[in-house]
Amino acid sequence: MATKKTKPTDEELVADWMQKLEHPLKAEIDAVRAIIKASNSNIKERIKWNAPSYYSTEDIVTFNHRATQHVHLIFHHPTIVQIKSALLEGDYKDRRMLYLPDMKAIKANKKELQRIVNESVQLIDQL
C-alpha cells in the first residue's frame, strides 16, 4: 500500500530553501529572519518570489537574496510609506527597501527593524 505524500508546510519549505542557499551573507540572512519572526506573534513565513517572505493578514516584506553585498529587504505592502525610519530607503509609491551590510549593522538595528515590522502589522490590521 502506497503512502500518501503530504505537501510540505511553509516552514519546511523555508527551512529547505535556507539549507540550499549558497550566499556570502547566509548567517546574516538567517539572523534577520529570526528578528522578523520574533517581532510579532502574527508574523508568518513562507516562500514568495523564490525567497523567504513574511506576512500577517497580508504580505509585508520579502528578502532579495540576489544582492550579495548586503541583506536586502523589500517592504512591499503600500502602508510601508506611512512608516518613517532612517533604515527605509526609496521614494516608491508603494514600497521601501532596507539594506543591512553586515552582522554589526543587523545587531545595531534590531529594535528598529522590529518596530518597522510591528508597525506594518498594526497598519495592515487597521485596513
Residue 40 domain-assigned (yes or no): yes
Rounded to 5 degrees, φ, ψ at 100 are -130, 115
Task: Count up the domains in the chain and report the number.
Answer: 1
pLDDT less than 50: residues of the chain: none
Write the single-letter amino acid at 1.
M
- Nearest-CA neighbor of 34 among 108, 113, 102? 113
Q: Is residue 5 part of a domain?
A: no
- Domain membership flag for residue 79: yes
pTM: 0.92
Q: CATH no. for residue 48?
A: 3.90.1150.200
104 domain residue, yes or no: yes
**1 domain-assigned:** no
**Which pLDDT score is estimated for 43?**
96
The reply to whether 4 falls in a domain is no
Query: Is 66 domain-assigned?
Result: yes
In the prediction, which pLDDT does 3 show?
A: 64
Asked if 83 and 123 touch (Cβ cutoff 8 Å), the reply is yes
Concatenating the DSSP letter of every residue in the chain gives -PPPPPPPPHHHHHHHHHHH---TTHHHHHHHHHHHHHH-TT-EEEEETTEEEEESSSEEEEE-TT--SSEEEEE-SGGGGG---TTEE---SS-EEEEE-SHHHHHHTHHHHHHHHHHHHHHHHT-
CA distances to 20, 36, 40, 65, 99 from 69, in Å: 19, 20, 28, 10, 9
Domain that holds residue 102: 10-125
**pLDDT tens column, 79-112:** 999 999 999 999 999 999 999 999 999 999 999 9
